[in-house]
Structures are given as structure tokens and as C-alpha cells.
């Protein structure tokens, strides 16, 4: 199906749906189209913005804001990988210099860190994290 914005001889605009561009041409040439407002059979395509289909990952405004926030948090932080819980404890108990870190922790490790009062925050999840 294809949608065209149509305009009659009296400048009334309306939408028309057609199986394809050939179906529009056939109907207009046979006088089968008319303005629903005034009945005029003088109908032509009106200018309209093209509809562009999206493909791949949809990057909406919310995702972009999260991506920017996460990038800002990580830009001066050290990736400690699977050692996150150990490194976070060392910083918390002043066995290491304070610094920004990020990495991975199991659910059990995260629960234990919270119970110990270690301050940390999970990073916002992004669509590409699911790949």
C-alpha cells in the first residue's frame, strides 16, 4: 500500500491509499477519484515529506541520553573487570587511593557490598549490552 497526499482543483487536501503508484494513475485517468469535500474530479498529488523506514537498532532520544551519561561516568574511570567487588572494598576501606572504577560484580557480590556500606551504582543498560 502507498499513501499519497492529494489536492483537488479547489486546493482541498486529503489522503488517498492505493495498492501502488500505477493504481493511483489508473484511478485518476478514469475519473474515479474525487475530492471528499467538494466532489471535484480534478485531483493531483500534493507535495509531501517522504516516509523513511528505520532499520537496525532504533536510537531514540532516551537511549542517546543514557549513552552520553554512561560515557561521561566512564571517561576517567578504570575498568577493573571481574575484580570490581575486591577493588571497591579496597577503596572503601582506604587500602587503595580513591578513584573511579567500573567492572562486573555478581548479584551476591553486589548484595554483600551494599550490606558493607560500599557506595556504588549500576551503570545504565544500553541496547548493545544485550548482544
What is the reported pTM?
0.52
Query: Is residue 116 over pLDDT 80?
Result: yes
Tell me the pLDDT tens digit for each residue of 75-100: 899 999 999 999 999 999 999 999 99
Residue spans of the domains in the chain: they are 2-45, 61-118
Tell me the pLDDT tens digit for each residue of 20-70: 888 888 988 888 888 888 989 899 998 776 666 555 555 577 788 888 888
CB 34 within 8 A of CB 41: yes
**Sheet harboring 13-18: ordered strands across?**
13-18, 2-8, 43-45
Please give the helix or strand (H or E) that residue 108 lies within, else none: helix 107-116
DSSP secondary structure letter of residue 95? S
Measure the CA–CA gap between 48 and 46, rounded to whole angstroms: 6
Amino acid at each position: 500500500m502507498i499513501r499519497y497526499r492529494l489536492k483537488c482543483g479547489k486546493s482541498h487536501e486529503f489522503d488517498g491509499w492505493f495498492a501502488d503508484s500505477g493504481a493511483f494513475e489508473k484511478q485518476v485517468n478514469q475519473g474515479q477519484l474525487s475530492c471528499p469535500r467538494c466532489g471535484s474530479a480534478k485531483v493531483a498529488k500534493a507535495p509531501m515529506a517522504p516516509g523513511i523506514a528505520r532499520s537496525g537498532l532504533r536510537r531514540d532520544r532516551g537511549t542517546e541520553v543514557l549513552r552520553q551519561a554512561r560515557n561521561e561516568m566512564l571517561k576517567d574511570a578504570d575498568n577493573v573487570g571481574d575484580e570490581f567487588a575486591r577493588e571497591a572494598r579496597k577503596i572503601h576501606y582506604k587500602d587503595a587511593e580513591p578513584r573511579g572504577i567500573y567492572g562486573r560484580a555478581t548479584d551476591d557480590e553486589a548484595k554483600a557490598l551494599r550490606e558493607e556500606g560500599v557506595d556504588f551504582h549500576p551503570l545504565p543498560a544500553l541496547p548493545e549490552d544485550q548482544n
